Amino acid sequence: MIAVPPLLAASLVGCGDKSDGNETSPEGASSEQSQGQQSQSPEVSTPQNSPAPQDSQGSGSASGASPASPKFMEFMKNNVSSDYRVVDLSSRLSKPDVGAGAAADQCAATVYGAADLAKYGAQVVTAVQSGPKQKAVTVLMFGSADKANAALDQVNSELDKPECKETPINGKSIKIEPLKDTYGFDKAAGMTLDVQGEDIDNLFATKGQFMVIMIGDLDEVVADGKKVYDALP
């Protein structure tokens, strides 16, 4: 894990310890798919028993994510390199209280990332690559394109809010700036989190009923995210 406040580390990989907000190492099968094997698209279907949207209170509330289907998991493994670890985040996403105050409501996607956006009802799978600069590609499969678009609209709305430009987390002030470069994605939004002088980029791109979130140094992770994005139906 990179040295950032626990919430941001949790947002980076989309998982965290629900008891106290401390980051945890995601557990799951590493991708064993060779780069040259043909991609397989995930089955496009409405997540079963999708819950109604949750409120955004930072109280460790359930995210609303649905368990990822085996086909969705296999799709991710087939489309990332073997040094990524692929994890179903359905039981790992949470929104612990990290002292964000009103921002936990007003800037929920900015603060919590996929843990908040899953409230629209989504299967959530992440591929995480550890190292000095950890990076991740997280895919949310919603029940419809409208829900994916609503999630992106929420991100854009928060980036326009003055109250979301600087957010307190665990007693530290995190500065948030919109990204001007969306790296060629048609429907996308991005932000840079300034964590005590260390920048963490987040790029959100939608395609149909899917949202792809690329996290880390975008110059390094976008190519991996684009491969996943292009393979989506």
Residue 81 near residue 175 (C-beta atoms within 8 A) = no
Cβ atoms 87, 68 nearer than 8 A: no
Please, what are the averages of pLDDT over each run of 10 residues along the chain (233 residues)? 39 42 34 40 48 36 82 98 94 87 92 92 93 88 98 97 92 91 96 88 97 94 97 97
- Backbone torsions φ then ψ of 34, nearest 5 degrees: -75, 155
Residue 132 has what pLDDT? 75
The 3 state secondary structure assigned to 45-70 is CCCCCCCCCCCCCCCCEECCEECCCH
Q: How do strand 210-216 and strand 198-207 relate by DSSP bridges? A: antiparallel
Between CA 70 and CA 99 the distance in angstroms is 36
What are the φ/ψ torsions at residue 38 (nearest 5 degrees)? -65, 140
Position 40 scores a pLDDT of: 58
Taking CA atoms, 54 is separated from 61, 121, 147, in Å, by: 8, 10, 14
Q: Strand 85-88 relative to strand 122-129: parallel, antiparallel, unpaired? A: antiparallel
**Residue spans per domain, the chain:** 6-25+59-231
- Residue 6 has φ and ψ, to the nearest 5°, of -50, -40
Look at the pTM and tell me if it is higher than 0.95. Answer: no
* Predicted local confidence at residue 35, as pLDDT: 36
At the topology level of CATH, where does 6-25+59-231 sit? Answer: Protein Transport Mog1p; Chain A (3.40.1000)
What pLDDT is recorded for position 96? 87
Give pLDDT, residue 62. 55
| CA nearest to 4, candidates 217, 172, 131, 139 | 172
Helix (H, G, I), strand (E, B) or coil at 170: coil
Please name the residue ranges forming H helices in 49-167.
Answer: 70-78, 103-106, 108-112, 114-117, 145-159
